[in-house]
Chains A and B, each alone.
Chain A
Amino acid sequence: ETGVTQTPRHLVMGMTNKKSLKCEQHLGHNAMYWYKQSAKKPLELMFVYSLEERVENNSVPSRFSPECPNSSHLFLHLHTLQPEDSALYLCASSRTGTGISEQYFGPGTRLTVT
């Protein structure tokens, strides 16, 4: 148990489908993140929530819509995706403030868009 869980672990969806990815952290952290990891590319930060408010949004297409109802849960709503959106989507959490505040990652959701 890493302390950060993600469901589903694998998802195959068509371009017209709507689905949601879920992340839950059990570490008492107050910041949560969505990253996209594609082959041969660095981890790309998508969204950051700190104290349940979105604080970073790195030019992500509107077909990705995040939701953070509380400090323990984070969702990524997906609709009308493209094949190039196929990737590993990683959720992470951390404490905010000064100090090390390392990020703890979930196992990821492997998304395939057909």
Chain B
Amino acid sequence: GQNIDQPTEMTATEGAIVQINCTYQTSGFNGLFWYQQHAGEAPTFLSYNVLDGLEEKGRFSSFLSRSKGYSYLLLKELQMKDSASYLCAVRGQAGTALIFGKGTTLSVSS
């Protein structure tokens, strides 16, 4: 079967660093995506990994280990506006739709 696991909720304070983990078991692998979704809004694309290693984009970084079926999203210098749900998604086969995890709700406090 296909399964994507990520923690349900996380909390952190402004200025801190937080790591959101994602593990996956899918039939095939053609890329892992992270999306951010603020309450009542559409998910927006954050990052993409298809090869092992770290992809850095400003305050956000994403890591992938295909052999372990594992990824994480690292958020640095947290801001209040980073409070949102973070969705991990995997594309199992090229050209097919994404399979999403349940999302991790991150609450950033001052």
Contacts and interface: CB of A to CB of B under 8 A. Distances in A.
Contacts, number: 50
A48 B99 CA distance: 12
Nearest to A90: B42
Interface residues of B, number: 23
Contacts of B100: 35, 42-43
A112 to B, nearest CB: 14
B87 A43 contact: yes
A106 B102 contact: no
Nearest to A96: B95
Contacts of A101: 95
Chain A: interface residue count, which band?
Answer: 20 to 34
A2 B4 CA distance: 27
Nearest to A102: B45
A108 interface: yes
